[in-house]
Structure 1
Amino acid sequence: MRRDSAPYNGTARRGEATPEGSPSIAAAEDVTRRSAVAEEQAFLDVATARRDRLAEHLRVELSADTRDPVEAARQRMLRQQYEELRRAQDGLVFGRLDGLDGTVRHVGRIGLRDDREDGEPLLVDWRAAAARPFYTATAVDPQGQARRRHIRTTGAVVVGVDDEPLDGTVSAELVGEGALLAALDQRRTGRMSTAISTLQREQDDIIRADATGPLIVQGGPGTGKTVVALHRVAYLLFARREMADQAVLVLGPSPRFLEYIAQVLPALGETAVVSATCDTLLPEIRVGRDESRQLAEIKGRALWQPALENYVASLLPRPRELKLRWEGEFYVLPAPTVAQSLASAVRGRPYHRARAVFAEQLHHLLAEAVVEQRETLLNEMEEGFEDILARFDRDLARDRHPGRAASGSDVDGLLSEEEIDDLRSRIAGSASIARFVEAWWPTLDAETLLRALLTDTTLLARFAPRLSREEIAAVAAEPAPWASSDIPLLDVLADLLGEVEAPQPQGEFVADRARRQRGWVYGHVVIDEAQELSEMQWHMLLRRCPSRSITAVGDIDQAEAAHRHRSWADAVRAVLGDRWTAAALTICYRTPREVMALTEPVLRRAGSHNAPPRAVRSAGIAPWERTVTPAELAGAAVEAVRQLRQRWRGGTVGVIAPADRVGELLAVLSDVPVLTATQSKGLEWDATLLVDPQGIAAEPRGWNGLYVALTRCTQELGQLILTPPG
Structure 2
Amino acid sequence: MLTTTPTPDVLTAEQHHLDRARAELARMREHTLSLVPDGGDAIADEALAWALHRRAAGLLDDPHTTLFFGRTDTTGGESFHIGRRHVTDAAGDPVVVDWRADVSRAFYRASRTDPQGVVLRRRFGVERGRLTAYEDEHLGDPRQGEDAPSRILAREIERPRSGPMRDIVATIQPEQDVLVRAGLTTSVCVQGAPGTGKTAVGLHRAAWLLYAHRDRLTRQGVLVIGPNRAFLGHISAVLPALGEVQVRHTTVDGLVAGGTRVRGSDPVPVAVLKGDARLAQVLRRAVASAVRDPAEVLEGGALVVTRGSRRWRVPAHELREVLAELGGRGVRHEAARALLPHRLAHAVLLRMEAAGDSPDDRVADAVARSAEVRRAVRALWPPLDAAKLLHRLLSDAGFLAACAEGVLGAGEQELLRWPRPPRTAGAARWSPADAVLLDELADLLQRTPSVAHVVLDEAQDLSPMQLRAVARRCSTGSVTVLGDIAQGTTPWSARDWVEVLGHLGKPDGRLEVLDRGFRVPAAVLDYATRLLPHVAPGLGRPRSVREDAGSLEVLAAAELWPAVAAAVGRAAAQEGTVGVVVADAAVDEAVRALAGTPHVVLGASADEEEGGEPVRVRVVPASLAKGLEFDRVVVAEPADLVDAEPDGRTGLRRLYVVLTRAVSGLVVVHARPLPAELAAPA
Provide the rounded CA distance (Å) in 2 between the counterparts of 1:222 and 1:212.
27
Provide the rounded CA distance (Å) in 1 between the counterparts of 2:588 and 2:382.
48
Q: Which amino acid aligns with 2:316?
A: A
Q: Is the 8 A contact 1:319 1:342 kept in 2?
A: no
Q: Indicate the residue corresponding to 1:692 in structure 2.
A: 637
Q: Indicate the residue corresponding to 2:563 in structure 1.
A: 636
Q: Which runs of 5+ in 1 are unaligned?
A: 1-9, 15-28, 377-413, 500-518
Asked if 1:656 is matched to 2:581, the reply is yes
Identical-residue share of aligned pairs (%):
33
Q: 2:25 aligns with which of 42, 47, 51?
A: 51
Q: Indicate the residue corresponding to 1:707 in structure 2.
A: 656
**Aligned residue runs from structure 1 range 241-640, under 5 A:** 241=214, 242-282=216-256, 283-320=258-295, 321-322=301-302, 332-346=313-327, 347-362=329-344, 421=362, 425=366, 428=369, 434=374, 437-464=377-404, 465-477=406-418, 480-498=428-446, 519-547=448-476, 549-563=478-492, 565-573=494-502, 576=505, 578-619=507-548, 621-629=550-558, 632-640=559-567
Q: Is the 8 A contact 1:135 1:199 kept in 2?
A: yes
- Over residues 523-556 of structure 1, what are the superposed CA-to-partner deviations in whole Å (9 max), with x where a residue is unaligned? 1111111111222222222222224521111111
Asked if 1:13 is matched to 2:15, the reply is no
Q: Partner of 2:482: helix, strand, or coil?
A: strand
Q: Is the 8 A contact 2:190 2:481 kept in 1?
A: yes
Per-residue deviation at 1:450?
A: 1.5
Per-residue deviation at 1:45?
A: 1.6
- Over residues 44-101 of structure 1, what are the superposed CA-to-partner deviations in whole Å (9 max), with x where a residue is unaligned? 1221222111111110114779735445544444333322222576432221012234
Asked if 1:716 is matched to 2:661, the reply is no
- Over residues 339-395 of structure 1, what are the superposed CA-to-partner deviations in whole Å (9 max), with x where a residue is unaligned? 2433444432211121122134446767999x899x99xxxxxxxxxxxxxxxxxxx
Provide the rounded CA distance (Å) in 2 between the counterparts of 1:537 and 1:315.
25
Q: Partner of 1:107: helix, strand, or coil?
A: strand
Provide the rounded CA distance (Å) in 1 between the counterparts of 2:62 and 2:221.
21
Q: Partner of 1:598: helix, strand, or coil?
A: helix
Asked if 1:160 is matched to 2:133, the reply is yes
Q: Partner of 2:136: helix, strand, or coil?
A: strand
Q: Indicate the residue corresponding to 2:84 in structure 1.
A: 109
**Stretch moving more, 473-482 or 294-303:** 473-482
Cα 1:327–1:143 shift into 2, 3 Å: closer
Q: Partner of 1:161: helix, strand, or coil?
A: strand
Per-residue deviation at 1:284?
A: 1.9
Q: Is the 8 A contact 2:39 2:48 kept in 1?
A: no
**Stretch moving more, 188-197 or 354-363:** 354-363
- Over residues 691-714 of structure 1, what are the superposed CA-to-partner deviations in whole Å (9 max), with x where a residue is unaligned? 111222333311111111111011
**Stretch moving more, 277-286 or 470-479:** 470-479
Q: Is the 8 A contact 1:596 1:711 kept in 2?
A: yes
Q: Partner of 1:281: helix, strand, or coil?
A: helix
Q: Which runs of 5+ in 2 are unaligned?
A: 296-300, 421-427, 601-616, 675-682
Q: Which amino acid aligns with 1:684?
A: E
- Over residues 627-652 of structure 1, what are the superposed CA-to-partner deviations in whole Å (9 max), with x where a residue is unaligned? 235xx33333333323322233xx22
Q: Indicate the residue corresponding to 1:388 in structure 2.
A: none
Q: Partner of 2:573: helix, strand, or coil?
A: helix
Q: Is the 8 A contact 1:87 1:266 kept in 2?
A: no
**Aligned residue runs from structure 1 range 67-86, under 5 A:** 67-86=41-60
Q: Which amino acid aligns with 1:246?
A: Q
**Stretch moving more, 91-100 or 197-206:** 91-100
**Stretch moving more, 301-310 or 254-263:** 301-310
Q: Is the 8 A contact 2:344 2:368 kept in 1?
A: no
Cα 1:158–1:359 shift into 2, 3 Å: same
Cα 1:602–1:127 shift into 2, 3 Å: same
Q: Which amino acid aligns with 2:556?
A: T
Provide the rounded CA distance (Å) in 2 between the counterparts of 1:39 and 1:724.
60
Q: Partner of 1:467: helix, strand, or coil?
A: coil
Asked if 1:91 is matched to 2:69, the reply is no
Q: Which amino acid aligns with 1:358?
A: L
Q: Is the 8 A contact 1:455 1:475 kept in 2?
A: no
Q: Which amino acid aligns with 1:342?
A: L
**Stretch moving more, 434-443 or 468-477:** 434-443
Provide the rounded CA distance (Å) in 2 between the counterparts of 1:531 and 1:665.
29
Name which one, 1 or 2, has greater alpha-carbon Rg: 1
Provide the rounded CA distance (Å) in 2 between the counterparts of 1:219 and 1:173.
26
Cα 1:639–1:68 shift into 2, 3 Å: same
- Over residues 112-158 of structure 1, what are the superposed CA-to-partner deviations in whole Å (9 max), with x where a residue is unaligned? 33333xx4433211111100111111223222212211224456532
Q: Is the 8 A contact 1:217 1:584 kept in 2?
A: yes
**Stretch moving more, 281-290 or 675-684:** 281-290
Provide the rounded CA distance (Å) in 1 between the counterparts of 2:555 and 2:589.
18
Provide the rounded CA distance (Å) in 2 between the counterparts of 1:569 and 1:261.
27
Q: Partner of 2:114: helix, strand, or coil?
A: coil
Q: Is the 8 A contact 1:279 1:287 kept in 2?
A: no
**Stretch moving more, 670-679 or 298-307:** 670-679
Q: Is the 8 A contact 2:291 2:382 kept in 1?
A: no
Q: Indicate the residue corresponding to 1:384 in structure 2.
A: none
- Over residues 252-304 of structure 1, what are the superposed CA-to-partner deviations in whole Å (9 max), with x where a residue is unaligned? 11111111111211221224422221111133234333433322322222212
Q: 2:177 aligns with which of 183, 204, 215?
A: 204
- Over residues 574-615 of structure 1, what are the superposed CA-to-partner deviations in whole Å (9 max), with x where a residue is unaligned? 555852211111211111111111023211121423233211
Cα 1:459–1:87 shift into 2, 3 Å: farther
Cα 1:164–1:663 shift into 2, 3 Å: same
Q: TM-score, normalized by length of structure 2?
A: 0.84
Q: Partner of 2:60: helix, strand, or coil?
A: helix
Cα 1:270–1:483 shift into 2, 3 Å: same
Cα 1:318–1:429 shift into 2, 3 Å: closer
Paired residues, what number?
630
Provide the rounded CA distance (Å) in 2 between the counterparts of 1:478 and 1:186.
55
Cα 1:62–1:255 shift into 2, 3 Å: farther
Cα 1:203–1:493 shift into 2, 3 Å: same
Q: Indicate the residue corresponding to 2:146 in structure 1.
A: 171
Q: 2:190 aligns with which of 217, 222, 227?
A: 217
Per-residue deviation at 1:458?
A: 3.7
Q: Which amino acid aligns with 1:55?
A: R
Q: TM-score, normalized by length of structure 1?
A: 0.79
Provide the rounded CA distance (Å) in 1 between the counterparts of 2:293 and 2:673.
66
Q: Is the 8 A contact 2:454 2:478 kept in 1?
A: yes
- Over residues 292-332 of structure 1, what are the superposed CA-to-partner deviations in whole Å (9 max), with x where a residue is unaligned? 33223222222122222222112112234245687999875
Q: Which amino acid aligns with 1:446?
A: A
Q: Indicate the residue corresponding to 2:680 in structure 1.
A: none
Cα 1:706–1:527 shift into 2, 3 Å: same
Q: Which amino acid aligns with 2:557?
A: V
Q: Is the 8 A contact 1:367 1:427 kept in 2?
A: no
Root-mean-square deviation (CA, aligned residues, Å) is: 3.3
